[in-house]
Amino acid sequence: MSIIGMESFGHLPDGVVTSADILSNVWSGILGGLEITDLGTGRKAIENTDGDSTLTLTISAAGVTTVVLGFRLHNLTAASQYLFRFNDAAVGMGLLYKSTTGQLLYYRTPTPQGGQDILYSGSVTAPGSDDYWEIKIIFHNSTGAVYLYKNGVLSSSVTGLDTITGGAACDKIELFMGHSVGGNTMLSDIYVDDTDVQGQCDVAYRPVDASGSSADFTPTGAGTNEACVDEIPPDDDTTYNRSTVSTDLDQLGQAGMDGAVGTVLAVQAHIRARKEDATASTIKVGLLHSGTHSQGDAEALGLSYQQFTEIFEDVPGGAGWTTGQFDATEVTYENVS
């Protein structure tokens, strides 16, 4: 996969989400009113609470002509809801919408009022259950196509379409697209791929829980580096690791897959950090496996805590992932300025 943006939201505390909470290379552009809700049994979801929020996933500067979007749609989700809009820059290329009759609709125009409905699904979710959906869209002016999968099974499809409308390629996906969401509309386990339909893709959150290969930061509030950053939800300045020296590096063990089997599609490393004064400070987020260290770009810190994320589609020094490789991987962060 050359594009993937998973997000279980399990690493965030309950309540209103701000750009500072979730700012990363995955999601950005929160205007306000997005909220994290605990669904119990270790599951969380994101919802729109006041009608003026848009959470944006930027795909790439060049854009892509095939998008596969997977997400869990919870049984609490109300009808008649804007879910996702696919854009080429500022041009809306299509819209995924839940109708008043409990169907998923894909429109070739950015609003349902355009009347160009392409695809109807069956019933979205049975009472008391959550359904995992994937929509695959091929953007083309004559051979475009839309495929909709429910729990890994093809539900409906339409081919031979003009799916481009006013754009040329998809470079941005908006969640809720700034529209009011009545009732409780809740989505989680979101990912984006530019090639393959993956079937049901659960996103598992694994906190750090052990010492690793390096612990240069100074622990505060707890005795070890991992104990200062393992809490769910984060306790901010109650327990934390601190560094004033460039090149300081923490590499910490994490809980692993606990014997789970299956395919690991990608691994995201999440770090929550801030700086203490106005001096420019940056941090790199990474993963360490079998002596090979992979890091993302340096990220500028602000005075308030922010969520920094890096996606690793390949194990450091290799290709793809196995569960065993993930079990042996450490989460890292480095003070680089």
Mean of pLDDT values over 27-45: 81
Name the DSSP class of 325: H
Return the SS3 of 92: strand
CA distances from 130 to 21, 125, 277, 283, 312 (A): 26, 6, 45, 38, 28
pLDDT in tens, 257-307: 877 778 898 999 989 899 999 999 999 999 999 999 999 999 999 998 888
The fold of 208-335 is Jelly Rolls (2.60.120)
162-217, pLDDT tens digit by residue?
888 778 899 999 998 877 666 678 888 899 998 899 888 888 888 999 999 999 99
DSSP 228-261: HS--SS--TTSSEEE--STT-EEEEEE---TT--
Structure confidence at residue 181 (pLDDT): 66
Reported as a pLDDT band with limits 50, 70 and 90, residue 114 is low
Fold match, 15-193 / 208-335: yes
Question: May I ask the CATH class of domain 15-193?
Answer: mainly beta
Q: How confident is the model at residue 51 (pLDDT cuts 50, 70, 90)?
A: low
pLDDT digits (tens, 9 = 90+) for 222-251: 999 999 999 877 889 999 999 999 999 999
**What residue spans define the domains of the chain?**
15-193, 208-335
Q: What pTM value is reported for the model?
A: 0.87
In this predicted structure, what is the pLDDT of residue 125? 72
